[in-house]
Amino acid sequence: MKKKITKTKKPRKTPKNNLVISGSRGKAAKPIGVVTHFYGGIEVAIMKFKKPVKAGSVVRIKGATTDFEQKIKSMQYDHKDVSVAKKGQEVGVKVDDKVRQGDEIFKL
C-alpha cells in the first residue's frame, strides 16, 4: 500500500516593519518620512518627509524602541517657521519624547 503524501501549508509571515493603523481596513501604512537627526538637549527632531505635511497634522513616530503619536505644532526650516514641509525637505520639529535616527513617521 502506498502512502499518500500531502503538502502542508506554511503559515504566512507578516513583515515586521509593516504597521497597521486602526481605521485603515487592515492595510499596512506606508511611512511618510524618516528622522534624520535628533537634538536631545532641545528635544528637536530633524525629519525628512516623502510627502507634503502641514503643521497641525497628527503623526506616529515608530522605531526599534520608539512608538508614540503627537501633533506637529510647528516646523522650522532654516530657522524660520513654515506651515507646510515640502516633499524631500528636512524640517525641525519639537517632539514630545526621545526619537532616534532612522525612526519612521506615519500620518494618522
Write out pLDDT tens, residues 50-79. Answer: 999 999 999 999 999 999 999 999 999 999
**Length of the chain, please?**
108
> How do residues 39-51 score in pLDDT, each as one tens digit?
999 999 999 999 9
Under 8 Å between Cβ of 48 and 77: no
Fold category of 31-107 in CATH: Elongation Factor Tu (Ef-tu); domain 3 (2.40.30)
Q: What is the pLDDT confidence band of residue 20, given thresholds at 50, 70 and 90? A: low
Under 8 Å between Cβ of 36 and 27: no
At 60, the amino acid letter reads R
pTM of the model: 0.73
**Exposure string for 17-39, b = 16+ CB within 10 A, e = fewer:** eebeeeeeeeeebebbbbbeebe
Q: What is the pLDDT confidence band of residue 29, given thresholds at 50, 70 and 90? A: confident
Report the distance separating Cα 58 and Cα 103, nearest Å. 16
Q: End-to-end distance of the chain based on CA atoms, in angstroms?
A: 60
Report the distance separating Cα 91 and Cα 88, nearest Å. 10
Domain assignments of the chain as residue spans, ordered by start: 31-107
